Amino acid sequence: MTDATFPAGTILGYPRIGPRRELKRAVEAHWAGDLDLEGLEQVAADLRRRTRRRLAALGLGAGDSAIPDTFSFYDQVLDAAATVGALPQRFADLRAADGTIPLTAYFTAARGDRERAPLEMTKWFDTNYHYLVPEIGPETRFALSSDRFARQVAEARADGVVVRPVIVGPVTLLALAKATDAAPEGFDPLSRLDELLPVYRALLAAMRAAGAEWVQLDEPALVSESLPASPAALAEAAARAYALLGDAADRPAVLVAAGYGRLSAEAWRALAAAPIEAVALDLHRGGVPEPAPGLDGKTLVGGVIDGRNVWRGDLAAAWERLDALRALGARAVAAGTSTSLQHVPHDVADEPDLDPRLVSWLAFADQKVQQVATLATGLQVGREGIADELAAASAALADRHAAPGVRDGAVRPRAAALSPDDYSRAAAATRESAQRELGLPVLPTTTIGSFPQTGDIRRARAAAARGELTAAQYDGFLRDEIRRVIELQERLGLDVLVHGEAERNDMVQYFAENLDGFAVTRNGWVQSYGSRATRPSILWGDVSRPAPITVGWSAYAQSLTAAPVKGMLTGPVTILAWSFVRDDQPLGETADQVALALRDEIADLEAAGIRIIQVDEPALRELLPLKSADQPHYLEWSVGAFRLATAGAVPATQVHTHLCYSEFAVVIDAIAALDADVTSIEAARSRGEVIGDIRSSGFARGVGPGVYDIHSPRVPSVDEIAGLLRRAVTELPIGQVWVNPDCGLKTRGYAETVASLENLVSAARAVREEVAVRA
Ligand code: GLN
Ligand code: ZN
């Protein structure tokens, strides 16, 4: 082991997609066969070099391991799994002759191919980033299977930079894994820790040999209370893991990083006592922990700069927290980010359209690196040495508090005057009888909202944005599109129609663009998964609705048909979850402001003759806090905001909601509390279970468990859909069941969409007849 001292400041990770999404372009070109492996590796190496230079220019030392290497072709969890050889059996034949896992196998595990399902994808803690879920069983044979990390260390060395490789740690890798299909019932991947650790030891030795002085092992599992393993079991695993890894002679110094919240008390004690050299803590969310034995020889990296949001924030308060960390008596304290910066865009200086005043309140990744560098200087020379920077940040914060729009004189009194009545609709029975006017059959058929976003639609939107189509031309284009979608649905015989959402680039950004209090970036891309990125809007001020948003489109669609057309809105929780949200007031207050804007939109939709309104909340589950103690409060404000948005609707208006996941059981009480008349949910991965969960929960409202998986181009047959419906109507009262796909159709093509919806309508009709005959 080296006795290298840790630098005074670092970041836990940096965006890897490139300022212009260079990696996305290259990877997708490679997948399409337009860029060979060598070309792809070249783009990746260039990007890594540019990143190192950028980070050095922003103030991280090139010689002292302050610069992390968090490059990934797809996902950091897959990187770790592939490195230790933990790909499931179905990818075995893609290994090289020497058993190593080449990039082609890595991509196949991520994306699947004709014969093989990819690894499942799920949310990384409570972020919008998705990782690939490792599959580990008793049969998994761990072995060092890739030298990619080592090659990247050597590449940086050759370029004059001592990087700190960043690898998902052994406890988190296993804690996030699921059992392979071959594993016996109840198998726990964490039970394989002892066999996995020798491979991590070998990996550390390889890092050392390649020239790494420090390595960062990410262990965010140690902050979560939402994993199958308990915090105590995770802490015990960490104690065992780092006793063994720390004990190796031939290794770089080890930093264990635990972002995304407060370490459990057990895990904190385990890491403090472990024979490792440094621990990184999320002080932004977690706060300074209690003193613990074993800190005297260690460096503590105080994650005081928020890695997940875009605010410049309170640098002086960050300094205070670092100072408090020093009181714990560790060997040294360094400044850091609370998490990797992969959750924020690259550079706010790259946003020419944003108001300069707003820009002065923001910090994207590059600005956060500078903040860390400033705090590091402070640690070295004392507070006086950075007094100007701290004062400038405080001044920007004060300016933000006082700026027009941040506190809007019209919005606040309205929110303050709300009473419990504003959150409740008429009794369910009253609504049900009023909604009989809709004249819907049993097993009503509908879709989730969007129809395929064709190349034509995207091209027209881009042309309109460039000014090549006039507003009137673009409007006409969208109307034609709506007419086609309405005609198609009538021909298919669907019961509740939609306008198709052709006017929306994105279900959140569209509303952000049309509400006051939001700003939209030009280059603010953030990786969502693999090569996909989203561009979250910035919710910076009090939210209000200057004018109706969706009413014109919905009313036009309704004018074309006698069937009911569903109005389509994105709910307050999802709008918050998929934006960068102001951090100067509780989320619940912000959610209520969004809810009030939606409430007005619903009133206008009703006035325009819309009788069914869907408020999508696909993010309700994903925003659920990791700590169980925080969950009740979250559910209270999130459910409250949905109710505030919808409770103004008259009893005859049927309120729908849509949720994009099948872990129905986890939040079933909250879903029931939303008090929607109809809830459509995804059921693709576990058809039967979802229906069983609905039944056992006693959920009493309309419910549409998806019967058509829109994540794949496969067309489900009439028999298959009818089978699912038969099962639904035997387990649930028939009056409760709706027939719909899993989610919106925007990513699908028309051919498979039409074929699938034909089958969906035929299946609904067939089952209706069977039921009528029996009755
Ligand atoms: N109404 C949206 C659509 O159909 C819902 C999308 C979602 O749930 N993510 O596209
Ligand atoms: Zn969905």
Q: What local confidence, expressed as pLDDT, does residue 683 receive?
A: 82
Percent of the chain with pLDDT over 90: 91
Question: Could you give the 3-state DSSP secondary structure of residue 692?
Answer: helix
Q: pLDDT for 65-90, tens place per residue?
A: 999 999 999 999 999 999 999 999 99
H helices of 675-749, in order, are: 687-697, 718-731
pLDDT at 663 over 80: no
**Cβ(380)–Cβ(8) below 8 Å:** yes
pLDDT (average), residues 296-324: 97
pLDDT at 684 over 70: no
The ligand with the least distance to the CA atom of 682 is 2
* Percent helix, percent strand, percent coil in the chain, to nearest 5: 45, 15, 40
Q: pLDDT for 583-626, tens place per residue?
A: 999 999 999 999 999 999 999 999 999 999 999 999 998 888 98
Q: Pairing between strand 532-534 and 526-529?
A: antiparallel
* Nearest atom (ligand 1) to Cα of 660: 8
Q: pLDDT for 238-282, tens place per residue?
A: 999 999 999 998 999 999 999 999 999 999 999 999 999 999 999
User: For residue 746, how far is its CA from the centre of ligand 1 (angstroms)?
Assistant: 8
Q: What local confidence, expressed as pLDDT, does residue 691 receive?
A: 86
**How confident is residue 147, by pLDDT bands cut at 50, 70 and 90?**
very high
**How confident is residue 664, by pLDDT bands cut at 50, 70 and 90?**
confident
pLDDT (average), residues 547-572: 98
What does the alpha-carbon distance between residue 199 and residue 99 come to, in Å, rounded to a whole number?
14
More confident of the two residues 667 and 250: 250
Q: What local confidence, expressed as pLDDT, does residue 410 receive?
A: 87
Virtual torsion, Cα 472, 474, 479, 482, nearest 10 deg: -170
pLDDT at 714 over 80: yes
The ligand with the least distance to the CA atom of 742 is 2
Give the number of other CB atoms < 10 A from CB of residue 673.
16
* Nearest atom (ligand 1) to Cα of 568: 1
H helices of 84-178, in order, are: 103-111, 148-158, 170-175
Mean pLDDT of all residues belonging to the chain: 95
CA distances from 744 to 494, 552, 564, 749, 753 (A): 15, 21, 18, 12, 11
Kind plus residue range of the DSSP H or E element containing 337:
strand 332-337
More confident of the two residues 155 and 623: 155
Question: Ligand 1, atom 6: nearest CA belongs to which residue?
Answer: 744
Q: What local confidence, expressed as pLDDT, does residue 375 receive?
A: 98
* Nearest atom (ligand 1) to Cα of 574: 9
Choose, from 30, 284, 499, 711, the residue flagged as catalytic. Answer: 711
The distance of Cα 545 from the centroid of its chain, to the nearest Å, equals: 26
The ligand with the least distance to the CA atom of 617 is 1
User: For residue 553, how far is its CA from the centre of ligand 1 (angstroms)?
Assistant: 17
The ligand with the least distance to the CA atom of 681 is 2
Q: pLDDT for 336-354, tens place per residue?
A: 999 999 999 999 999 999 9
Which of 128, 447, 450, 550, when mutated, tests ligand 1's pocket best, judged by the most ligand atoms within 8 Å of its CB?
450
**Cβ(4)–Cβ(213) below 8 Å:** yes
What does the alpha-carbon distance between residue 746 and residue 383 come to, in Å, rounded to a whole number?
53
Q: What local confidence, expressed as pLDDT, does residue 685 receive?
A: 58
Percent of the chain with pLDDT over 70: 99
* Nearest atom (ligand 1) to Cα of 447: 4
Q: pLDDT for 184-196, tens place per residue?
A: 999 999 999 999 9
Instruction: Render 600-651 in DSSP notation, one character per residue.
Output: HHHHHHHHTT--EEEEE-TTTTTTS-SSGGGHHHHHHHHHHHHHHHHTTS-T
Q: pLDDT for 357-412, tens place per residue?
A: 999 999 999 999 999 999 999 999 999 999 999 999 999 999 999 999 999 888 99
pLDDT at 1 over 60: no
Tally the C-alpha atoms within 13 A of residue 702's C-alpha that lie toward its C-beta: 26
Hey, which bits of 81-120 come out as E strands? none
Q: What local confidence, expressed as pLDDT, does residue 122 receive?
A: 87
What does the alpha-carbon distance between residue 451 and residue 750 come to, in Å, rounded to a whole number?
8
What does the alpha-carbon distance between residue 227 and residue 339 come to, in Å, rounded to a whole number?
19
Q: Pairing between strand 516-519 and 538-544?
A: antiparallel
**Cβ(17)–Cβ(76) below 8 Å:** no
pLDDT at 2 over 60: no
pLDDT at 3 over 80: no
pLDDT at 551 over 80: yes
| Residue in the structure block whose two tokens are 């890092």 | 207
| Amino acid type, 232 | A
**How confident is residue 223, by pLDDT bands cut at 50, 70 and 90?**
very high
**How confident is residue 570, by pLDDT bands cut at 50, 70 and 90?**
very high
Which of 616, 617, 620, 621, when mutated, tests ligand 1's pocket best, judged by the most ligand atoms within 8 Å of its CB?
616
Which of 743, 746, 748, 757, when mutated, tests ligand 1's pocket best, judged by the most ligand atoms within 8 Å of its CB?
743
What does the alpha-carbon distance between residue 98 and residue 196 come to, in Å, rounded to a whole number?
20
User: For residue 710, how far is its CA from the centre of ligand 2 (angstroms)?
Assistant: 9
User: For residue 448, how far is its CA from the centre of ligand 2 (angstroms)?
Assistant: 7
Question: Could you give the 3-state DSSP secondary structure of residue 370?
Answer: helix
Longest CA pairwise span in the chain (Å) = 85
Q: Pairing between strand 612-616 and 566-570?
A: parallel
Question: Could you give the 3-state DSSP secondary structure of residue 96?
Answer: coil
Q: What local confidence, expressed as pLDDT, does residue 762 receive?
A: 98
Question: Could you give the 3-state DSSP secondary structure of residue 69?
Answer: strand
Q: What local confidence, expressed as pLDDT, does residue 622 receive?
A: 83
Task: List ligand 1's pocket residues with C-beta within 6 A.
Answer: 448-450, 501, 507, 568, 616, 618, 658, 660, 743-744, 746
pLDDT (average), residues 33-49: 98
Question: Could you give the 3-state DSSP secondary structure of residue 167?
Answer: strand
Residue of 621, 641, 640 lying closest to 631 (CA atoms): 621
b/e sequence 159-183, b meaning 16+ C-beta within 10 Å? eebbbbbbbbbbbbbbbbbbbbeeb
Virtual torsion, Cα 536, 537, 541, 546, nearest 10 deg: -140
Which of 130, 494, 507, 742, when mutated, tests ligand 1's pocket best, judged by the most ligand atoms within 8 Å of its CB?
507
User: For residue 617, how far is its CA from the centre of ligand 2 (angstroms)?
Assistant: 8
User: For residue 618, how far is its CA from the centre of ligand 2 (angstroms)?
Assistant: 6
**How confident is residue 221, by pLDDT bands cut at 50, 70 and 90?**
very high
Could you tell me the pTM of the whole model? 0.94
Quick check: is 401 catalytic? no
The set of residues, in sequence order, having a beta carbon less than 8 Å from that of 640 and lying 6+ positions away, is 423, 588, 591, 592
* Nearest atom (ligand 1) to Cα of 744: 4
